[in-house]
A = this chain, B = another copy of it.
Amino acid sequence: MSEQAQINVMEQLVSLCKRRGFVYPASEIYGGLNGFWDYGPLGVLLKNNIRDSWWRSMVEVPPIGPDGHPVDMVGLDSAIIQNPKTWVASGHVGGFSDPMVDDRETKQRYRADHLVCAIAKVKRKNGDVQELGFLAVLDGDRAVNDFVKRADKLARKTGGGEIQPPERSELTLFTKLDPERQKQVWGPEATQAGTLTEPRAFNLMFQTYVGAIQDETSKAYLRPETAQGQFLNFKNIVDTTRVKIPFGVAQIGKSFRNEVTPRNFIFRSREFEQMEMEWFCHPDEARKWYDFWKEERMKWWKSLGVRDENLRFRDHDADELSHYSKMTVDIEYKYPFTAPDFGELEGIAHRGCYDLTQHQTHSGQKLDYFDQELQLKLKEQGASADEIKQKSRYIPNVIEPASGLTRAVLVVLCEAYRRDPNRQGSVEYLSIKPQFAPIKCGIFPLVNKEGMPEVSEKLYLDLRKHFTCEHDVKQSIGKRYARMDEIGTPFCVTIDGETMKDQTLTVRERDAMTQERVSLDKIKGYLLERLSAE
């Protein structure tokens, strides 16, 4: 796909999402609010389907572990606002920040680590090579392109000439420049040099105050991740349920990050929904479980109908690992806005014993684990009493598969989006895997008379008990099919004149647009079978 086509896919998808009720800009009647989105009637159904699939794969039917037995897993739903000491211990108060620069001229704000710079050089008509300035552009695949365009514009103002395109490797990160050099840079939209401020750390947590008095003692934060809820409740869960190490705690819920530059539709928003699981295990077994969850998570993404060629693993290099992580692998997806590159989808991190140790230190509560089974095993192996005592009590290690529910919605939509110029009614349709489609079946009387709507309503009342249906009695049948294709409904059934005579109806399939006659008393079984197919 060409670059332009990729950009268009996102524009078309965002437009379809708005037009058909998947995703609206939040408070749109008031001009919106940057980085916030509302999930409309179809978006919430799609999101719930993905949510339920993750929950089922984690909590209701967790996988079979490496030893052939099902793994232990429980769910959790912890508060968005926690005691603020939580975020001191987790490192978020001190360290969860992005470097930010403001342009004093244009009032634009940039992530300092998203700006790349180089000296622009122009070859004048007389052969002289002149420097035009130290220009900054936004990092990304189009950075060199953007740089040349910008330099060209500057050159034309001063007599023209030919721009010498820099090598990609010649573009330097703004944050890598020394402060004196930073002062000479032209901001991406500035008309002069030296208008960018020095980068300053900007904490991404939203702040608020709990209680009537607003001071340091009442300051609190909206959680930037759900995971700390699992760590805070580790001891409670060990003490009040029957789980034993190794076990997992899974949670789905909203998180908030005051992103400097929210972007790419619902890919990076300020309010979003996460699905995070913390897997507590013995330190010696952490690597085994890391590999296990890495594979399990990839399987899950494929089960959403995401094609193999659009997914890949990418191990983090040592220098990009978070301070708490021993190793991390990302599952990446080829988004329309990153293609042919891939972008972040889910991280599976080996967090070691960092979190529990931090919370133990900061809270003064013991968060170690007494491993009765290990104790027994060591006894059987004839270990000394001292060794048994020392080894059977430990702070567990944690493997964390962390993904975004709202990001999963985006991936399913990107993956399903299709254009077919030969389709009637609409050239667009969503080929969503039936299991995740917001509406499973459209039910239509061919015309809104002659007894047909009575039959179709009766069928609707029966089928909706088993799966989501929409009963639509108006518009031409072509328009109704086209709308269902656009919202990804895998099946439509139509009651027509024939139905009134022989009790059969038409079933139409979304992708192939094939039509079949099925008898009224068999249609439920017919659809249930196809909707549950893998």
Q: Which residues of A contact B (CB under 8 A)?
A: 18-21, 24, 26-45, 47-48, 55, 59-61, 69-70, 74-83, 85-86, 100, 109, 202, 206-212, 220, 222, 229, 232-233, 235-237, 240-242, 249, 254, 256, 258, 260, 270-271, 359, 362-363, 365, 367, 457, 460-461, 464-465, 468, 470-472, 483
Contacts and interface: CB of A to CB of B under 8 A. Distances in A.
A21 B242 CA distance: 10
Smallest CB-CB A-B distances: 5 pairs: A41-B74, A27-B83, A30-B83, A21-B240, A38-B78
A363 B207 contact: no
A77 B206 CA distance: 21
A76 B206 CA distance: 24
Given A33-B81, A41-B74, A19 B240 contact: yes
B212 A109 contact: yes
B207 A208 contact: yes
28 contacts: A21-B241, A24-B233, A26-B79, A26-B82, A29-B235, A29-B365, A30-B82, A30-B363, A33-B210, A36-B79, A36-B82, A38-B76, A38-B79, A38-B229, A40-B74, A40-B76, A40-B236, A40-B241, A41-B241, A44-B75, A44-B77, A61-B464, A81-B206, A100-B212, A206-B208, A206-B209, A207-B209, A210-B270
Given A212-B100, A222-B208, A461-B70, A33 B80 contact: no
Contacts of A37: 79
B472 A240 contact: no
A45 B75 contact: yes
A72 to B, nearest CB: 9
Nearest to A62: B464
Please give the count of copies of this chain that the complex contains.
2
B39 A76 contact: yes
Nearest to A360: B29
Contacts of A69: 457
A349 to B, nearest CB: 22
Contact of A81 (B76, B83, B271, B461): B271
A24 B239 CA distance: 12
A40 B237 contact: yes
A496 to B, nearest CB: 20
A428 to B, nearest CB: 15
Contact of A41 (B35, B40, B75): B75
A202 B208 contact: no
Contacts of A27: 79, 82-83, 85-86, 232
Contact of A30 (B80, B86, B229, B271): B86
B233 A40 contact: yes
A86 B457 CA distance: 38
A55 B81 CA distance: 26
A460 B81 CA distance: 37
Contacts of A100: 212
**Chain A facing B: main interface SS:** mixed
Contact of A82 (B21, B33, B82, B85): B33
Given A236-B24, A472-B242, A77 B359 contact: no
A232 B86 CA distance: 35
B208 A208 contact: yes
Contacts of A40: 74, 76, 233, 236-237, 240-241
Nearest to A465: B61
A461 B62 CA distance: 10
A159 to B, nearest CB: 39
B240 A77 contact: no
Query: Which of A41, A78, A82, A270 has the largest number of chain B CB atoms within 10 A?
Result: A41
B464 A60 contact: yes
A271 B472 CA distance: 39
Given A27-B83, A32-B83, A39-B78, 12 more contacts: A26-B78, A26-B82, A29-B367, A30-B83, A38-B77, A39-B76, A39-B77, A47-B77, A60-B464, A209-B258, A212-B258, A242-B470
A232 B465 CA distance: 30
A482 B202 CA distance: 52
Contact of A271 (B35, B80, B457, B471): B80
Nearest to A74: B41
Contact of A33 (B41, B83, B206): B83
A391 B263 CA distance: 44
Nearest to A61: B464
A236 B39 contact: no
Nearest to A472: B242
A8 B41 CA distance: 44
A198 to B, nearest CB: 14
A264 B45 CA distance: 34
A409 to B, nearest CB: 11
A26 B233 CA distance: 8
B210 A202 contact: no
A277 to B, nearest CB: 13
A183 B274 CA distance: 51
Contacts of A29: 232, 235, 359, 363, 365, 367
